[in-house]
Amino acid sequence: MSGLGRLLVPLGFGFAFLYLPILLMAVFSFNESRLVTSLTGVSTRWYVALWRNEALMEALFLSLRIAAVSATMATILGTLAGFALARFGRFRGRGAFAGMMAAPLVMPEVITGLSLLLLFVALEQAFGFPAGRGATTVAIAHATFGAAYVAVVVQARLRDLDLSLEEAAMDLGARPWRVFLLITLPLAAPGIAAGWLLAFTLSLDDLVIASFVSGPGASTLPMVVFSAVRLGLTPELYALATLTVLAVAATLLLALRLGFRPPRA
């Protein structure tokens, strides 16, 4: 506990830095005036306007659909990869496999986006699939980097787990796939759920990769928000931000109650 006192100032500064901008947005989302700078009165009109903004709502539902599909694919891929990395010990190609699973975590988005787009174009030329670009190609792209995050979370969870339960089941004659389904999977469930949520959030949030691999008629929420921001700020955007923060905070609180620990990097 030593020396915490002196550290409270930078800690407070850090949290103020993180939360003041969000707090200001929340306050101004209830502002009556169209001006995003001076407070004139309390109103919920921007939330109504947001609800009636069809382009934004349509993009939101598209993004939610893509996020749900890609997070599920990412969870399947990432859980298998995390399991292999945590439980297989050394195997041939392990270094290459681990490196390939870790690289998307830091790869600049412009590289991932451009390279995937070129792959989709080449595949379409060669095999006719994917025909054109849109929700499907965005979901594939998001599943790819989502899988990397899920693998990290699942691997960390499995590493913290005691091996003895799995060994006991094995000693009692359970076949490996039964051990996996009945012991490993349930024990890893909090990690898997956290991984799914992480992949879902990252998909919902991605602008750059989606811009590269999406096609006409499939504008995700960040793409619509990005073009709106370039035209200028509106209190509607603040309302959207406030609702996002509330939704995320509620989900995290629920997750804490259910006994998740924050994922460790």
Partner 1 sequence: MTPRLRRALVLALPAAWMLLFFAAPFAIVLSIGFAEPAEGIPPYAPLLRRGEDGALQLQLNMANLQLLLEDPFYAEAALRSLRVAAVSATLCLLVGYPMALAIARAPEGWRNTLLMLVVLPFWTSFLLRVTAWIGLLQDQGWINGALLALGLIEDPLRLLYTDLAMYLGITYCYLPFMVLPLYASLSRLDPALLEAAADLGARPWRGFLAVTLPLSLPGVVAGYLLVFIPAVGEFVIPELLGGPGAQLIGRVLWTEFFQNRDWPLASALAVVLLLLLVLPIALFQSRATRDAER
Residues 134-173 that bind partner 1 (CB under 8 A): 140-141, 143-144, 147, 151, 155, 159
Only segment of 43-51, 64-72, 99-107, 184-192 that touches partner 1 (CB under 8 A): 99-107
Work out whether 176 is an interface residue with partner 1 (CB under 8 A). Answer: yes
3-class state of residue 31 by DSSP: strand
**Burial of 127 by CB count in 10 Å (0-12 exposed, 13-18 middle, 19+ buried)?**
exposed
Only segment of 23-31, 44-52, 64-72, 184-192 that touches partner 1 (CB under 8 A): 23-31
What is the distance between the alpha carbons of residues 184 and 87, in angstroms, rounded to a whole number?
A: 10
| Cis preceding-peptide flag for 235 (omega within 30 of 0) | no
Q: Which is nearer to partner 1, 2 or 164 (CB)?
A: 2
Residues 6+ away with beta carbon under 8 Å from 45: 32
Work out whether 57 is an interface residue with partner 1 (CB under 8 A). Answer: no
3-class state of residue 261 by DSSP: coil
Work out whether 102 is an interface residue with partner 1 (CB under 8 A). Answer: yes
Q: Which is nearer to partner 1, 105 or 189 (CB)?
A: 105
Among 101, 94, 183, 148, smallest CA distance to 263 is for 148
Work out whether 196 is an interface residue with partner 1 (CB under 8 A). Answer: no
Q: Which is nearer to partner 1, 189 or 247 (CB)?
A: 247
What is the distance between the alpha carbons of residues 111 and 123, in angstroms, rounded to a whole number?
A: 18
Only segment of 13-21, 53-61, 160-168, 185-193 that touches partner 1 (CB under 8 A): 13-21
Single out the residue of 192, 204, 210, 218 in contact with partner 1 (rule: CB under 8 A): 204
Work out whether 193 is an interface residue with partner 1 (CB under 8 A). Answer: no
Work out whether 32 is an interface residue with partner 1 (CB under 8 A). Answer: no
**Helix and strand element counts for the chain (H, E):** 12, 0
